[in-house]
Every structure is written in structure tokens, then in C-alpha cells.
Amino acid sequence: MFEHLARRGRLINIGATSGYTSVGYAPIKIDDFIVKLHYGARTVIGFLTFDYKHKYEEYSKQLSEYYVKNKLKIKVDFGVNVGEGLEAVSNGLKYLHSGSNTGKVLVKL
């Protein structure tokens, strides 16, 4: 990812689902990461929605308005062969972690 990040560039990370594996995160060579970060004067910031709980109500209303006015496009992915019902939740989770999804993964209960 750093090959595409400009000198003094900023990268904001919101979630890391694509980096999950069955045993946690895929390993990275930390020395390479630090060197590329440092010598490019780059910044990486993690963003957690929980840090903005106090804004949820305000922005939920705004997002609802955008949706009603067709200014917000929502992509829902039920996945191929995920199935339906509570027993399909584990399939949905596997599908999410496979990185094959587009948008939010939902399992129809």
C-alpha cells in the first residue's frame, strides 16, 4: 500500500476486515513498515467509530435524509451460497473474511 502513498501522505484505516485470517491478522514485516512510513514522512491513522458515539444520533439523521433523497447508495451483499437462517451466520462470517464481498454482508434470518 505504501508504494501508492505520496510523500507526506496520510492513510486513514477504517476497519481491517480484509486483513483478517483464520488465526488473526496476516503477518507484516514491521521493519519494512516502519522504514517506509518514516522515510516517506507518511502518517497512518486508525479510525474507530466508537470514538464518535456522541455523534451517532446527529449523523444517523443525516444519513437517513441522504438515503430518502437517494443521495446515499447502500450495497448489501447476501453472498452466494451463504444460505438463510441462524445456522448460516457462520457461512456469512466466512464469506466476509474471504474478502469476496461488496458492501455489507447480511444473512437473512
CA 75 to chain centre: 13
Same domain, 3 and 23: yes
Quote the pLDDT of residue 14.
77
Low-confidence winner among 26-30, 38-42, 53-57, 60-64 (lowest mean pLDDT): 26-30
Residue 81 CB partners (closer than 8 Å, separation 6+): 91
- Predicted TM-score (pTM) of the model is 0.49
Go through 31-40 and write b for each residue having 16 or more CB atoms within 10 A of its CB, e for each that does not. Answer: eeeeeeeeee
| Same domain membership, residue 104 and residue 82 | yes
How many other CB atoms are found less than 10 A from the CB of residue 18? 11
- 28 and 13 in a single domain? The answer is yes
The pLDDT tens digits of the residues spanning 48-90 come to 888 899 999 999 999 999 999 999 888 888 887 888 899 899 9
Domain count, the chain: 2
Beta bridge partners of 43: 10
Q: Does 22 score more than 60 pLDDT?
A: no
Cβ contacts of 68 within 8 Å, gap of 6 or more: none
Specify whether 47 is located in the same domain as 96.
Answer: no
